[in-house]
Structures are given as structure tokens and as C-alpha cells.
A and B are shown apart, each in its own frame.
Chain A
Amino acid sequence: MNPDGIDTPTAQPSWNTRVKDTIRSLERDAELMLRVRDGDQASFGLLLERHRGSVIHFLYRMVQSRAVAEELAQEVFLRVYRSRSSYEPSAKFTTWLFRIATHLGLNSIRDGRKESRQESLDQETSEGTVRQVADGAPNVEQELVYEVKLREVRQAIESLPAKQRAAVLMHKYDELEYAEIASVLSCSESAVKSLLFRAYEHLRLRLAHLA
């Protein structure tokens, strides 16, 4: 056991730091939400700031439309706010958030609210990140290759059944553990593993050639 009282394997120091950061983050979310429960709207603004990105990105990859993703994300936070008086910090805030987001995303896909197949993805890079190119500006050929790759990834994800899609997105982009995903999807951990492994099998068939 190290001086901080946390029992860790003899791993790199960064793992220990990550654990502590995660714990601090969870406590912070719970603390903020309790303040929102007590009527502090500024704390709700801080929660928005901390989590809007991950919610919007998740929904964007689910429904593959920026406009719909943002609309659904607004609804997610609205529901969080509405439920503030009954909030109890028994479950992780992010699990609760993703449960609402997944529910809305799955409904949206089921209801066909993503309009037609034509209303598709925004290919923006996130603010502050730039796609690195080896020598100066990309030439036309490189750009076409990039566009084709991106299109294949989007279409591969879109071809997954909705629940598998949600599971993969949470696992890959939000780095949720199996137990968390199970909690979000209200199913067992083994059911989540089954969803994920079938999804990755499908994605390997569609995307392995892109190596």
C-alpha cells in the first residue's frame, strides 16, 4: 500500500494519478449536482461545461447528425435539471447522464428522427485539434483517401444495430468499463460483452483493411 492509502499494483505512477483524478472527478460531479439540487444554477452551468462535450459527441456518433445530436443533448441536460430535486449520489453522475443520452439516442434512431440518410455527419475536427499532415498542406489524393476512410468508418458504425452501436461508442470513445455500460443499458455485464464482441467482429470485417 502506498503512502496515499491506495492499494495499487506496482504499475507506473500515472496509473495511480489516474485513479486519484477519477475519484476526485466523481466526487466533484456529485458535489455539483447536490448544489444544483439545493437551487444553485451556477453549479449546473459547471456540470454543463464538464459534460456537454462528451454527451454531444456520443449522440453525434449515434445519430450521425450534428443538429439532432445537439437537440437531443439539450434534452439530456434538461432532464437532468428536472430531476434535480430527487438526485441522490448513489450512482455515478456520468452513468446517469449516459443512461439518459443513450435512451434518447436509441429512441431517435428507432423513430427515424435522423431524417434521411442524406443528413449526415459533420466532419469537423474538435476545436484545438488539427489533423496532422506530414508535409505541409495535404494534396488532393491524400484528402480523397482520408474522406474515403472517414466515410467507411461512419458507415460501419451506422450499420451496427442501435444497442451495439451505443455500446461500442461508450466503450471506445468514452472509455466506459463493462460494468458502467451495463448500468447504462440496464443489462448484465455478460450481455454487454456479448454486444461489444459481436459489434467488434462486425467492425473487423468492415474496417480491418484500413490498417
Chain B
Amino acid sequence: MRLSWLSVALALVLGLTASPGAFGGPKAPKPPKAAKNVKTPIDEFMRMSPEEQQKALNRLPPEQRRRFQERLQRFNQLPAAQQQTLRNMYDRLNQLPPERQQAVRRSMNQFSREPQDRRQAMRQELKGLAPLPAEDRQARLASPEFREKFSEKEQGIIRDMSDVLPPR
């Protein structure tokens, strides 16, 4: 049974990799290269027509629709540069393997539960890491000063967060 399904997979791979040109027919035009801009579901939603947006929103109960619209407005009102940086971080988050994504999201939740002064300290640290190249970031995260400054839990949060920092 497994062999039969293996044959299906093999047939699919052979079919997909074979080019129609090999049999004398015209080559299919290549699709254009994808733009480098990151597109999130938020952007896709904003590109929908007003009617399509309303149709999607109508699936939500009134209170939830209101909350959704408020959150969307808050995001769209951010300065363009800030939005783009968030998009890049979002993209990096979603490129991670699922287990890493889970760990990062868990760390972000933990971050939001920390006292205000510790959140500020961790934010400062992340701001300091952001402009550094990857090797320098790693060096900083391994340094004794970093370890002394933050508790183990905070170190874990910062390490996880550094995975979504925009690449230098």
C-alpha cells in the first residue's frame, strides 16, 4: 500500500518537473518574480473591495466587528516606517519553524506580563541589539554583562525576541 502511494508521489514529481518544451511544445511563460514587500493578511484585507471587506466583517458579531475595526485602525494609523518594520518582524516570525513560532509567541506573552521597569529594560536591550549584525548580537547575548543584567527568564525572552528582529 505504501509502495502504491510512493508511486503517486513519484508520478507527481516527474510530472511537475517535466517541461512541456521537452516535447516540442512552447515553453510556459515564467511568472514575474515576487515583490520584496512583505504582504500580511492585514494588507490583503485592505486590498479587498469595500463590498468584500464588509462581507468578511459581517461574519463577526457586532462587538467583535467593532473591536476588529478599532484594532485595524490603530495599526493603519501607525507611521508608514513603523508599519513596515512590524511587517518585517511579522514576516520573520512566520518564517520560523512552528515550534520556534510557539516559543517566540510564548515569550512575547511573558514579556507583556513583566513589570513595567523590566519591560523597559528588555526593550532597551532589544533596541540595542536591533542595529547589530547577527554575530555581534550573538556575542552580546552570550556576554557576562548581559547575563548579569537580566534574570534567566528575561534572558530567554530577549533571546527569543531577537529571532524576529529585522536582519541588519
Contacts and interface: CB of A to CB of B under 8 A. Distances in A.
A and B touch in the complex (CB under 8 A): yes
A117 B98 CA distance: 8
A124 B61 contact: yes
Contact of A155 (B61, B106, B113): B106
A175 B98 CA distance: 31
A125 B109 CA distance: 23
A131 to B, nearest CB: 7
Contacts, number: 36
Interface string B99-116: 001100110010011000
Contacts of B106: 155, 159, 206
A83 interface: no
B109 A118 contact: no
A209 interface: yes
Given A155-B102, A155-B106, A155-B109, A123 B94 contact: no
B41 to A, nearest CB: 6
Contacts of B70: 140, 143
Given A143-B67, A155-B106, A159-B102, A116 B61 contact: no
A155 B94 contact: no
B60 interface: yes
A158 B64 CA distance: 22
A158 B59 CA distance: 24
Interface in A109-156: 116-118, 122-125, 127, 130-131, 140, 143, 147-148, 151-152, 155
B41 A131 contact: no
Contacts of B67: 143, 147
A174 to B, nearest CB: 23
Nearest to A125: B61
Contact of A118 (B60, B63, B94): B94
Contacts of A122: 59-60
B109 A116 contact: no
Interface in A196-211: 206, 209
Contacts of A117: 94, 98, 101
Given A152-B109, A155-B109, A123 B98 contact: no
Given A122-B60, A147-B67, 20 more contacts: A117-B94, A117-B98, A118-B94, A122-B59, A123-B64, A124-B60, A124-B61, A125-B61, A125-B63, A130-B63, A143-B67, A148-B112, A151-B105, A151-B109, A152-B109, A155-B102, A155-B105, A155-B106, A155-B109, A206-B106
Interface of B: 41, 59-61, 63-64, 67, 70, 94, 98, 101-102, 105-106, 109, 112-113
User: Which 9 A-B pairs give the minimum distances between C-beta atoms?
Assistant: A152-B109, A124-B61, A124-B64, A123-B64, A117-B101, A155-B105, A159-B102, A148-B112, A143-B67
16 contacts: A117-B101, A118-B41, A122-B60, A123-B64, A131-B63, A140-B70, A143-B70, A148-B109, A148-B112, A155-B102, A155-B105, A155-B109, A159-B102, A159-B106, A206-B106, A209-B113
